[in-house]
Structure 1
Amino acid sequence: MYYSVKLSEMPPWTDQGGSIAAMCGKDCVIIATDYHPGSFQIDTPPSGFKKLFKINSKTFLGLTGLQMDILAVHDRAMNRHNQNELSECREMNPKEFSIVVSNMLSKQRSKPYYVESMVAGLEPDWNDGTLKPYICYMDWIGCRREAKNFLVCGTSALQLNGICTSLWRPNLSSDDLFKVISSALHVGLSRDRTTRLGTSVFMYLIEADKITERLVEL
C-alpha cells in the first residue's frame, strides 16, 4: 500500500524547500545545497537564497527551512561565535560550534526556529596534530547527530540518503568527493517535487590548505 503526503501536511520547515548534503573524504569535507529560493506558493526568481555560511576558516554552517528563521539562526550563531573568539582568542572548531547551535535551537521551545542545520568542517585531532573531517546534523529542536560518512537534510533527504549510501566510499579524494556529491544531488533533487527545473548546486569543499567554492548547473 502506498501513502501520499499533502503539501499542507508537511512540516513547516519544508514550506520553502531546500536540501543540504555533507560528505567526508580523505582529509577533506564538502557541504552542498540546492541554489534557489524554493516555494510552493510563489514563483520566485531563480536568483538563489543563500543557505551555506562560512563561520571561520575551518567551519561552515548550512541551514534549510523558513528563510526568516535561516537568517535569524545564522545571525545569532555568528554573534555567539564572535563572542567566543574574543574571549578565547582563537577560532571555534566545528564540534564546538555545533554544540553552540544545538543549545541555541533547544532553548526555543515555546517558539522554535523552523530550520534544519548542518555543520561541516575540519576538526583538529589533538593526538596526532592533524585535521579530520567533521559533519553534524541538528533537527529543529537541536538534537545533534554526527557521522563519519555523510549526512543529508531537507525536502530531498529521503532520496539523497539512498543515493549517497550507494555512491559514497571511504577515503575519497577531493576531486572524487566533488563528483560523488554532485551526482547525488543531481539525482536526488530531480526526484523532489519541490525542486524546479534549472536548479543549481552551490558547495564548499574544505581542505587543510584551501577552501573551494563551486556553483554547478544541473
Structure 2
Amino acid sequence: MKIGIIALQGAVPEHVSMTLQALNNLGLKGEAVTVRQPAELAAASALILPGGESTTISKLLKRFELYEPLIKAAENGVPIMGTCAGCILMAKEGDGEVEKTKTELLKIMDMKVNRNAFGRQRESFETPLTIKGLVEPFPGIFIRGPLIEEVYGRCAALAYYQEKIVMARQDNLIALSFHPELSADTRIHEMFLQMI
C-alpha cells in the first residue's frame, strides 16, 4: 500500500516519518510517498493533507491539478486525513477569514471551521487530548490551529479542547486542528492506517 502525503507545503517529512513508524508498529507492508502530481495521487491507498497556510495550499492544489482529484478520491472512499490547514480545506464551510482570503475549500466534510481560532504562532501550545478510540490521552500540538465550530450530517466529533471540537471523522475522512506528526505518538497515524 502507498500512503500519499500531499507535498505542497507544511510538515511533509514529519508525516512521512510518522506514517512509516505507524506502518511498522502495525506490522503492515507499505510506503509513504510524497504527492505533487495527479498520477501520484491516483496511485495512493490513502492521503494526508498536511498543515501550512490554507490559502496558499488551496492555490497550489489548483496549480498542481490536485484539487479535483482530491475531491474525487474522497467521494470514492479513499481515506484522507487533514491536519491544521488540511482540516480547514476539508470543511464545507469556513469563517469570515476563509471568505476574505478567497480560500477555496474542498467541501468534503460536513463541518464548519474557524480558521485562526487559536491565535497566532506565538500562542502555540501543547495539551493532552481525550480522543474517542484511544485509551490514553494524546499530546495535541496546536500551532495557529483552526477550530471545528460545528459538525453535522455524517460528520462526528472525536476530540474536544475546552468543550470545542478539535478532531472529527466522516466515513473515510478525518480532520484534526492539531499536528499529530510533530509529537512522538504514532497512534493517530495508526488509527488512520486502519481505515484503509
Calculate the TM-score normalised by the size of structure 2.
0.32
Bigger relative CO (Cα 8 Å, ≥ 6 apart): 1
Calculate the TM-score normalised by the size of structure 1.
0.29
